[in-house]
Structure 1
Amino acid sequence: MTELTKTLELKLVDPNVHKRQKLRETRDAYQQALQDAFDAGCDTQAAANDVVVEYDLSGYAKNALKKYVPQLCGNSYDADELHDDHPVRFTNEGVRLDHQPQNAIEWYVKIPHHEDYHLWMPARANPEQREWLEALYADDAEMGESRLFERDGMWYLHVTATRNVEDESEVSADERTPIGVDIGEASLVTVCHRNDSGSPVRPRLWADEGKTVRRLRKTYFTAKRRLQQRGSERIAECYADALWNQIDDVFHRVTSEVVAHAESVENPVLVLEDLTYIRENMDYGEYMNRRLHGWGFGKLHAQIRYKAAEQGIPVETVNPRNTSKACHACGEVGSRPRQATFRCSNDDCWLGEYQADVNGAINIADRYRSGESHRQSDRASRQKVGDDDSATDGASLTGPRDSHAVNESRSDSFAHQKSKISGDDAETQQPTLGTNAS
């Protein structure tokens, strides 16, 4: 295993006038506190604390200053003067991430403003760093210092992240064994690959887990409606958290088992359906759209990607068109007389009927084998072993946790929790900015 540190790049999306004002207030207060502590020659954290403690900043920004100013004043950098556009630094627990993969803008960040107020803002991420962000969101990477700055009227956030990555051996694409990964409602995940002779082998289905998640979701939505009718939104909010934790536990266990399954195959590559096409092409009527657009495709994809990357297993994506409708033996479009059954329409095909999810997984693997791939997985491997492109100042300095914003209304808080339990709530979300973009 090799420890890597990387700076993750996020661009804040179109802050409104209020949020721009708050960002500028934070920047101005930070830079004034930095200048005053520097002018006072603060070469210890205690001395810097005496200066910055009075400023209207979050504890995360103050703690970052207490670490940074002594470095400037002779301990590390011995700076003669300050330039006037220092980014706002936050220690490692200052910034929080939220991920809503069903939304057009998937990522949201919490920016501390001062001790009792913070801003949730939508953000666009560098697509090359998706796996790192997903690992950070899932607490499988360690967050270091964050830096907030403005350039040409745009606001950006840089977050340092550290994670352990398995050292990869050089294996060509032709030597890889593609393992198709089919994600659905009946079987939560299904995997299968072909052996050297082309025969499908070792299919594995997580059907019981699919039933468990469906039951938990149905229980939640039924209870949520009843609680909301009684005006018990706070209880519904707590119930949402408890239920999502149960679903998330299922997701984590299944995706870990998927990666473990891949490790048992020689030179594996996990092949997923491209989530972009899934989002664009889901149109099964109002009821099914509401369910499927909120189904855990994005979260399962994310967990498989970053867990596979940790084990040095590449992940690729392919266009999912007709992977569930085509026969893996002859290629003819068939039918689904039952949820779990695929029937080939070709009378001359030996297949006849087949397990539908396994058929889909084989088709996904075959699509990669045929040469189609969107090459999404090798992002992590593009950063060479030992490459460290950022400092980790502040990573070991933990500031006090900000309290939840007292100005955040109960309805806003509940809307944020609802966004974590997707499904029937998907129809109420903003199509572009998402639930945290108020």
Structure 2
Amino acid sequence: MTTLTKTLELKLVEPNAHKRRKLRETREAYQQALHDAFDAGCTTQTEANDVVVNYKLSGYAKNALKKYVPQLTTTYNAGELHDAHPVRFTNEGLRLDHKPENAIEWYVKIPHHEDYHLWMPAQPNPEQRDWLEALNAGDATMGESRLFERDGTWYLHVTATRDAEGGSEVSDEERTPIGVDIGEASLVTVCHRDDHGCPTAPELWADEGKTVRRLRKTYFTATRRLQTRGSERIAESFGDDLWNQIDDVFHRVTREVVDYAESVKNPVLVLEDLTYIRESMDYGEYMNRRLHGWGFAKLHAQIRYKAVEKGIPVKTVNPRNTSKECHACGEVGYRPQQATFKCTNDACWMGEYQADVNGAVNIADRYLSGESRFREHENDDDSAEDGGRLTAPQDSQADATKQETLGTYAS
């Protein structure tokens, strides 16, 4: 078993004046406590505790300081402190909250002082979503976190650790690509070709697609009515319950997808590149809203981290025409019905085929044609991007107010 560790960077969406003041109070108190403990020459946690105990900091920040100050002296042999140090919190202090119904889905609770906490909307790098999903599901362990300000913007670094099986030494050519098609009718469809090149053992999660569509429709209809009546708190609680049910479906299906991959010799899961999916969505305002909120990114992330745990590689391909081309001859066809693909090539043997299976086979074939790629940021930049419109959870001792902000990467 291999242990993977990654530092996740979350960009905190522009805080209001109240939250900005509280963040700066935490930073200033932490810096003063750090310097005083260091100047006192503390070499043990007990000595550091005697210095930092009276500062207006959360216990999580004080506990992190008690560990950090002795390390500066005994491990790093620091003669003096340079520049501003990030505010450290032990792993118990931070809490993530996931609101998939919101444009900005992730929120973080930052300890301030005693029982006072700041709920902050946070925008992570989309490439790190699988790690956040693992943390949120309890499949990864949160370590120490660090809060700092850079060029007027606040960031939070969170250390995450998870176990993964070691991958086998198999070349890309020896892999069996499994196409993964995500859609509305069938929530997920997987299929691969056998040794003779024929599509084999397709599996469709169509009932789960119906369940999620029903839950989403119930959510939007019921919450709209409750909000119209002024029952905001009931609407939020009701919505959370429905989205938890959807999340349970997602987790079960993605586990079964990875189980399917484990049954195949030398598997590689092949997904459609989300960047191209979003760029190609232009079906009118109503359909765009439905598709953008359908959960592509969430399902992708859960498949990725569950596959990593099993040592199964995941690749992405350009999804252009994967749902329109015939997997047998390559001719562009059409769908007379949602679940049916019809090839327009009279010379092709296929005629009609299950549409989602056809798409899954085309996705797998993109890997075989050499189009697969890992999407990485240039210069390995894992920094977070701007956020989207949101309604955020509130501070633990603040008035309930709504916050909105504009940006990019809204789901």
Above 0.5 in TM-score? yes
Helix, strand or coil at the partner of 1:409 = coil
Q: 1:218 to 1:200 in 2, by over 3 A?
A: same
Say how many residue pairs are matched: 394
Match of 1:240 in 2: 239
The Cα offsets for residues 171-212 of structure 1, whole Å up to 9 and x where unpaired, read as 111111110000011111000000121100000000111111
Q: 1:342 to 1:434 in 2, by over 3 A?
A: closer
Match of 2:386 in 1: none
Residue 405 (structure 1) aligned with residue 396 (structure 2): yes
Output the CA distance in 1 between the equivalents of 2:88 and 2:357.
49
Output the CA distance in 1 between the equivalents of 2:196 and 2:137.
39
Output the CA distance in 2 between the equivalents of 1:376 and 1:312.
19
Asked if structure 2 preserves the Cα contact closer than 8 Å seen for 1:8 and 1:126, the reply is no
Comparing 13-22 and 320-329, the one that deviates more: 13-22
Asked if structure 2 preserves the Cα contact closer than 8 Å seen for 1:4 and 1:165, the reply is yes
What is the CA distance between 1:264 and its match in structure 2? 0.5
Asked if structure 1 preserves the Cα contact closer than 8 Å seen for 2:101 and 2:243, the reply is no
Q: 1:43 to 1:61 in 2, by over 3 A?
A: same
Residue 213 (structure 1) aligned with residue 212 (structure 2): yes
Output the CA distance in 1 between the equivalents of 2:99 and 2:198.
38
Q: 1:320 to 1:100 in 2, by over 3 A?
A: farther
What is the CA distance between 1:56 and its match in structure 2? 2.5
Match of 1:204 in 2: 203
The Cα offsets for residues 248-298 of structure 1, whole Å up to 9 and x where unpaired, read as 111000000000000110111101111111112212122212211110111
Asked if structure 1 preserves the Cα contact closer than 8 Å seen for 2:323 and 2:359, the reply is yes
Output the CA distance in 1 between the equivalents of 2:373 and 2:104.
20
Where relative contact order (Cα < 8 A, 6+ residues apart) is larger, the structure is 1
Instruction: Note the 1:27-426 alignment, pairs <5 A.
Output: 27-72=27-72, 74=74, 76=75, 79-97=78-96, 109-115=108-114, 116-125=116-125, 127=127, 131-151=130-150, 155-376=154-375, 404-407=395-398, 409=400, 411=402
Helix, strand or coil at the partner of 2:298 = helix
Asked if structure 1 preserves the Cα contact closer than 8 Å seen for 2:322 and 2:359, the reply is yes
Output the CA distance in 2 between the equivalents of 1:237 and 1:408.
17
Q: 1:298 to 1:132 in 2, by over 3 A?
A: same
Q: 1:408 to 1:203 in 2, by over 3 A?
A: farther
Q: 1:156 to 1:230 in 2, by over 3 A?
A: closer
Output the CA distance in 1 between the equivalents of 2:8 and 2:355.
39
Comparing 192-201 and 7-16, the one that deviates more: 7-16
Helix, strand or coil at the partner of 1:36 = helix
Code of the aligned partner of 2:397: V
Code of the aligned partner of 1:318: V
Q: 1:84 to 1:94 in 2, by over 3 A?
A: same
Helix, strand or coil at the partner of 2:366 = helix
TM-score (norm 2): 0.86
Asked if structure 2 preserves the Cα contact closer than 8 Å seen for 1:9 and 1:159, the reply is yes
The Cα offsets for residues 27-78 of structure 1, whole Å up to 9 and x where unpaired, read as 221010112233445455455344323323233212212332344465x556
Code of the aligned partner of 2:33: A
Output the CA distance in 1 between the equivalents of 2:324 and 2:78.
65
What is the CA distance between 1:373 and its match in structure 2? 1.3
Code of the aligned partner of 2:307: A
Mark the runs of 5 or more structure 1 residues left unpaired by the alignment.
Answer: 383-402, 416-428
Root-mean-square deviation (Å): 3.0
Output the CA distance in 2 between the equivalents of 1:349 and 1:257.
33
Output the CA distance in 1 between the equivalents of 2:193 and 2:99.
34
| Identity among equivalent pairs (%) | 76
Asked if structure 2 preserves the Cα contact closer than 8 Å seen for 1:103 and 1:431, the reply is no
Output the CA distance in 1 between the equivalents of 2:78 and 2:332.
69
Match of 1:4 in 2: 4
Helix, strand or coil at the partner of 1:157 = strand
Match of 1:387 in 2: none
What is the CA distance between 1:111 and its match in structure 2? 3.6
Output the CA distance in 2 between the equivalents of 1:241 and 1:134.
17
Asked if structure 2 preserves the Cα contact closer than 8 Å seen for 1:102 and 1:293, the reply is no
